[in-house]
Structure 1
Amino acid sequence: MEIWSLNLRHLRAVGKIAELGTVNAAAIAVNLSQPAITQALGRLEASLGLPLFERRHDGMIPTRAGEIIAPRIAAALAHVRSSHVTMSRLRAMLALAETGSYAGASQETGLSLPSIHRAVNDLALALRRPLVVRRGKFVITTEAGSQLAREFRLAQVELEAGLSEIEALRGYETRRIAIGAMPLSRARILPGAVARFLARRPQVRLTIVEGSRAELVEPLRNGALDVMVGALREPLVETDLVQHRLLDDVPAVFARRGHPLAGTTPGPAEVARYPFTLPPRGTPLRDSFDRYFAAHDLPLPQVPVECGSVMMIRQVMMGSDFLTLLSPDQVQVEIEAGWLRELARLPPEFARTIGMTTRASLRPTEVQAEFFADLEAAARDVGDG
Structure 2
Amino acid sequence: MNTTTAHFPLTIKQCRVIREIMKKGTEKDASTSLSLSQSSVSRALSQAEHALEVSIFTRGWSGAEPTSAGELVISSCNSILQAIADTERQLQQNTTTLLKLKTYVEWRHLMIIEAVVRVGSASVAAQILEMTQPAVSKTLKEVENMVQQPLFSRARRGLIPQTAAKQLASLYLRVSPVVQSLQHQLQSLPNELAGRLSVGMLSFSCQDIVPIAFASIFKQHSGIRLQAMQGPYHMLANALRQGEIDCFLGLMRKGPIHSELIELPLLRARYALIARADHPVHSYAKTLSDLVNERWIVARHGTPIRDYFESLFHSIDNKPPIQALEMLTFASSEELVIHSDAIALLFYDDWNINKLNPRLKQIPITLPQPECTIGITLHRERQSAITQTFISELKLSIQHKLTSI
Task: Give the TM bin, normalised by the shorter chain.
Answer: 0.5 to 0.7
Amino acid of the residue matched to residue 232 of structure 2? S
- In structure 2, the residue matched to 1:192 is 212
1:210 aligns with 2:135: no
Match of 1:106 among 8, 18, 31: 31
Other-structure match for 1:181: 201
The structure-2 alpha-carbon separation of the partners of 1:195 and 1:319, relative to structure 1 and needing over 3 Å to count, comes to: closer
Per-residue CA shift, 1:73-108, capped at 9, x if unaligned?
A: xxxxxxxxxxxxxxx9xx99xx8xx97895x24157
Q: In structure 2, what residue type is equivalent to 1:259? A: H
The question of whether the paired residues in 2 share the 8 Å contact of 1:264 and 1:343 is answered with no
Q: Distance in 1 between matches of 2:259 and 2:205?
A: 23
Q: 3-state SS of the aligned residue for 1:363?
A: coil
| Match status 1:259 vs 2:184 | no
Q: Which residue is 1:371 aligned to?
A: 390
The letter of the residue matching 1:191 is P
Corresponding position of 2:381: 361
Shift of 1:193: 2.4
Q: Which residue of 1 aligns with 2:345?
A: 325
Partners of 2:263 and 2:376 within 8 A in 1: yes
Aligned with residue 255 of structure 2, among 224, 227, 235:
235
State the shift of 1:196 in Å. Answer: 3.9
Map of 1:42 onto structure 2: none
Distance 1:279 1:355, change over 3 A: same
2:256 alignment partner, SS class: coil
Partner Cα separation in structure 2 for residue 261 and residue 227 of structure 1 = 40
Tell me which residue corresponds to 2:131.
none
Query: What corresponds to 1:282 in structure 2?
Result: 302
- In structure 2, give the amino acid aligned to 1:371: F
CA apart distance, 1:326: 0.6
Residue 224 to residue 335, structure 1, CA distance change in 2 (3 Å)? same
Partner of 1:68: none
- Maintained 8 Å contact 1:307/1:313: yes
Aligned mates of 2:70, 2:273 — CA distance in 1: 49
Distance 1:309 1:173 in 2: 31
Alpha-carbon RMSD? 4.3
- The secondary structure found in structure 2 opposite 1:250 is strand
The structure-2 alpha-carbon separation of the partners of 1:302 and 1:331, relative to structure 1 and needing over 3 Å to count, comes to: farther
Question: For the structure 1 residues 313 and 153, does the alpha-carbon distance in structure 2 shift closer, same or farther, using more than 3 Å as the test?
Answer: closer
Change (3 A) 1:328 1:236: closer
Structure 1 pair 184–196 and aligned structure 2 pair: CA distance change class (3 A)? farther
Counterpart Cα distance in 1 of 2:188 and 2:307: 44
Question: Please, which of 313, 320, 327 is the counterpart of residue 293 of structure 1?
Answer: 313
Distance 2:225 2:354 in 1: 31
What displacement does 1:349 show?
A: 2.3
Q: Distance in 2 between matches of 1:327 and 1:228?
A: 18
2:245 to 210, 216, 225: 225
- In the alignment, what sits opposite 1:7? none
| Residue 325 (structure 2) aligned to one of 305, 308, 313 | 305
SS at match of 1:361: coil
Q: 1:308 and 1:275 mapped to 2: Cα distance?
A: 17
Deviations 1:312-355 (A, max 9, x none): 43454344421110123699599754332111365472322211
Q: Which has the larger radius of gyration?
A: 2
| Long gaps (5+) in structure 1 | 1-46, 48-87, 120-151
Aligned-residue offset at 1:382: 4.6
Q: Report if aligned partners of 2:351, 2:402 keep a CA contact under 8 Å in 1.
A: no
**TM-score calculated relative to the size of structure 1:** 0.53
1:72 aligns to what? Answer: none
Task: Output the CA distance in 2 between the equivalents of 1:218 and 1:309.
Answer: 21
Q: How does 1:85-124 map to 2 (within 5 A)?
A: 102=28, 104-106=29-31, 112-113=36-37, 115-116=39-40
Indicate the SS of the match to 2:388.
helix
Task: Report if the CA contact (8 A) 1:281-1:287 is conserved.
Answer: yes
Equivalent residue for 1:343, pick from 332, 354, 363: 363
CA separation in 2, counterparts of 1:114 and 1:297?
59
- How far, CA to CA, are the matches of 1:350 and 1:187 in structure 2? 20
CA distance in 2, matches of 1:114, 1:377: 45
- Percent identity, aligned pairs only, is 21
Q: Which residue of 1 aligns with 2:86?
A: none
How many residues end up aligned between the 2 structures? 255
Q: Could you tell me whether the CA contact under 8 Å between 2:31 and 2:38 is conserved in 1?
A: no
Q: Is the 8 A contact 1:291 1:350 kept in 2?
A: no
- 3-state SS, counterpart of residue 344 of structure 1: coil
SS in 2 for 1:185: coil
* Matching residue of 1:247: 267
Shift in CA distance, 348/304, structure 1 to aligned 2, threshold 3 Å:
closer
In the alignment, the residues of structure 2 paired with residue 163 and residue 383 of structure 1 have an alpha-carbon distance, to the nearest angstrom, of 39
Contact in 1 for aligned 2:277/2:359 (Cα 8 Å): yes
Question: How far apart, CA to CA, are the structure 2 residues paired with 1:196 and 1:265?
Answer: 44
Q: What's 1:55 paired with? A: none
Amino acid in structure 2 at the alignment position of 1:113: S
Give 1:302 deviation, angstroms: 4.0
- SS of alignment partner, residue 204 of structure 1: strand
